[in-house]
Amino acid sequence: MQHVDIYTDGAARGNPDGPGGYGCVLRYMDSRGGLHEKELSQGYIQTTNNRMELMAAIVGLEELRKPCEVTLYSDSQYLIRPFQEHWIDRWVANGWTRGKKEPVKNVDLWKRLLKAKEPHRVNFVWVKGHNGHEMNERCDRLATSAADGDGLIPDPGFIAQASS
């Protein structure tokens, strides 16, 4: 099974309702020892930082064309802890509620992430943000450039959440 490292980050300006973006870098070594990398990013007109953290992971996993062993790195506790501490299993079992029957936010993206993750073996790893981690800093630049750039698109899930 091919091993792939996925580095992710999300950004939002004026969180919770300004422009935002995600950045993602996929890296793997081929059988000859050659390093392959692919950068992915996109900006959104109006979104949240947490949604962009999730989108970065989703897009990275959706890019994989066959089942892989993945190490997914993020500086987002919001993304990492539900998998490391198995909260997501409880959320699913409880009909996407948490704690005192509070609804889980961003259910559309959590569901999409679970579907994207399904064919792979994924290990979620937290890295400290803005601490000189080369790949985290690279993803941060991708995410902020996407948020600040042209070609921003709507985030339908944010729009639906904001209107409910």
**The one catalytic residue among 43, 60, 140, 155:** 140
Is 75 annotated to bind a ligand? Reply is yes
Phi-psi category of residue 127: left, alpha or beta, with phi > 0 → left and psi -120 to 50 → alpha: beta
Is 53 annotated to bind a ligand? Reply is yes
Res 38 pLDDT > 90: yes
Domain that holds residue 46: 3-163
**The one catalytic residue among 9, 21, 43, 120:** 9
Is 85 annotated to bind a ligand? Reply is no
- The answer to whether the predicted template modeling score (pTM) of the entire model surpasses 0.85 is yes
Q: pLDDT digits over 126-155, tens only? A: 999 888 889 999 999 999 999 999 999 999
Active site residue 17: no
Is 9 annotated to bind a ligand? Reply is yes
**Domain CATH number, residue 86:** 3.30.420.10
Q: Give the count of domains, the chain.
A: 1
Active site residue 5: no
